[in-house]
Amino acid sequence: MPNIERRPQRPRAAPGWLAALLAAVLAGCGPGVGGTGTGDTASALTYFGASPASLCSSELAALAACQTDGTTATAAPGAEPVLLVDAAGARVQVRLQKDTAELIEACAPLEFRGQWGVIAGQAGRFYGHTDPDVAPAPATLEAQASGTGMRLTLRDGGGRVLLGPVVVTATAAPPGTPVCP
């Protein structure tokens, strides 16, 4: 019987195509789960024919942590985002930072990310996208001061109501787990 020498097997390196595919997939990821976290609000402003504007020059300046020098309100440098929640168990959460808003309706689930803008002759609002990291769809978030909070209505690109109206108020503490029906 012939004597066959067995060589120890080395682990194989992943094929080049697999490594390239993995690199391409991971390149689209960024902070958080599901995407870069930046959204494309500039295209939403263009889609609706709106111009970017300062949230600090709106009726919502007090809620947006804007500072004033007596004549002009500006976003406070390095200010933490302002967190607002609804009274029904924090199902709706909104983060305001500078001129942007991020809304999450935890029970739907529904997400929106947008930038404050204006169209001549209309009240300012946030122009952005629902589902911004997966399948962005143009949407607007109307926001009006309401007592110590704000009244929100989220609409799709065709004007249909997706959420609201709902009132949210500022909170210092992160909300707990929302209570969903």
Per-residue model confidence as pLDDT tens digits over 53-95: 988 888 888 888 787 665 555 555 545 689 999 987 688 999 9
**Selected residue with higher pLDDT from 76 and 181:** 181
Three-state DSSP state, 20: helix
Short-list 64, 178, 42, 58, CA closest to 124: 58
- For residue 175, tell me if it sits in a domain: no
**Structural domain boundaries enclosing 163:** 39-170
- For residue 62, tell me if it sits in a domain: yes
Q: State in Å, rounded, how far the first CA of the chain is from the last one.
A: 75
- For residue 143, tell me if it sits in a domain: yes
- For residue 58, tell me if it sits in a domain: yes
pLDDT at 141 over 80: yes
Report pTM: 0.72
- For residue 45, tell me if it sits in a domain: yes
Residue spans of alpha helices (H) in 36-83: 41-48
Tens digit of each residue's pLDDT (9 = 90 or more) over 95-120? 998 899 999 998 888 999 999 999 99
- For residue 28, tell me if it sits in a domain: no
- For residue 54, tell me if it sits in a domain: yes
The CA–CA distances, whole Å, from 176 to 82, 90, 92, 145, 151 equal 16, 7, 12, 25, 21
Total domain count, the chain = 1
